[in-house]
Amino acid sequence: GVRPEKLIKDEAVKDNLSKLIVVKDMYDRKSKMVELSDLFIALPGGVGTLDEIIEVFTLLKIGFINKPCGIFDPDNYYNGLQVLLDRMVEDGFLSNEDMSLLKICDDPKELLFKMKGN
Q: HSE (CB half, 13 Å, CA atoms) of 55?
A: 13
Helix (H) or strand (E) holding 69: strand 69-72
Q: What is the pTM of this model?
A: 0.87
* pLDDT band (50, 70, 90) for residue 117: confident
Q: pLDDT value at position 12?
A: 63
Residues of the chain with CATH 3.40.50.450: 38-118
Q: pLDDT value at position 18?
A: 87
* pLDDT band (50, 70, 90) for residue 6: confident
What's the CA gap between 78 and 44, in Å, rounded?
8
**Residue 54, amino acid:** I
Q: pLDDT value at position 11?
A: 64
**What's the pLDDT tens digit per position in 40-89?**
999 999 999 999 999 999 999 999 999 999 999 999 999 999 999 999 99
Q: pLDDT value at position 1?
A: 86
The CATH code that applies to domain 38-118 is 3.40.50.450
Q: pLDDT value at position 10?
A: 64
